[in-house]
Structure 1
């Protein structure tokens, strides 16, 4: 590990692995170590009909309850139900809420994991608590989401 200052507040230039995913036409990522599984979602209409995309309902995965955050609606261009992709994915996180439910994010598609350096993280020009920053992975701009802030 190299020493130095990083833009994510850790004070070091860490090499971490992120998992990338799509919402509408934008690419996002989170630390891969915080995700315990990626699942296909059949019949996601009940999540899209929920009044609050930040708490779009629950589902059960391998006997564990998962609280679903409908990210296409929460981060999309409008608060209404977005046009869904045919095969959405659910990122299931190791973190749980006060009721013991895991957090799950409904996303359009999930790509591969990628190693990145935290020092390459650049701040966004927007005021948001849900984003750690922006970085380039290959030739793509990727927004790094702060799962802890999203989970509350």
Structure 2
């Protein structure tokens, strides 16, 4: 009986993985991420014509389509300050071509437990079309990204 009470009380809690792009913090549901990889050479991704489809990489025989989030979420008139060792969040789902999808990000933090009831809506706009909402983690605003909307 105690377990059903705990399940009801904790039913709105989920783990999210937090990460940064430029100086902004974001998160995504941790269960949707398969792995986090270090990227030693992002030059081909950084110069791709389309940041939403910035090329593919192969890891252990699997293809990963790369979304260059720093470029995709930045105005075309703003210069991106690339970090030396970006990370690639690789998601569990594959796209229509059976390639996994990976997001190039600046840095990955740790998983956090959040309450879905704490999620607040965000103003509408081009970037927010990919945002589920915002919440506060450790006193900072974090935007929760909708991986299904980004993967298309």
Q: TM-score, normalization: structure 2?
A: 0.89
Which of the pair is proportionally richer in helix?
2
Task: List gaps (5 residues or longer) in structure 2.
Answer: 1-6
Cα RMSD of the aligned pairs, angstroms, is 1.7
Q: CA deviation at 1:50?
A: 0.3
C-alpha displacement at 1:81, in angstroms?
A: 6.5
| Partner of residue 82 from structure 1, selected from 80, 83, 89 | 80
Moved segments of 4+, more than 4 Å: none
Aligned length: 144
**Equivalent position to 1:110, from 84, 108, 125:** 108
> Secondary structure at 1:30's aligned position in 2?
strand
* Deviation of 1:108 (Å): 0.3
Q: For the residues of structure 2 that align with 1:90 and 1:38, how far apart are their CA atoms?
A: 6
Residue number in structure 1 paired with 2:147: 147
Change (3 A) 1:114 1:85: same
Cα deviation 1:39-79 (Å, max 9, x = unaligned): 10011000011000000000011211000000000012436
What is aligned with 2:93?
Answer: 95
Gaps of 5+ in 1: 4-11
Query: TM-score scaled to structure 1, two decimals?
Result: 0.89
> Structure 1 residue 13: deviation in Å?
5.7
Q: Secondary structure at the match of 2:129?
A: coil
Is 1:29 the counterpart of 2:32? The answer is no
Match of 2:148, SS? helix
1:110 to partner: Cα distance: 0.2
Larger Rg: 2
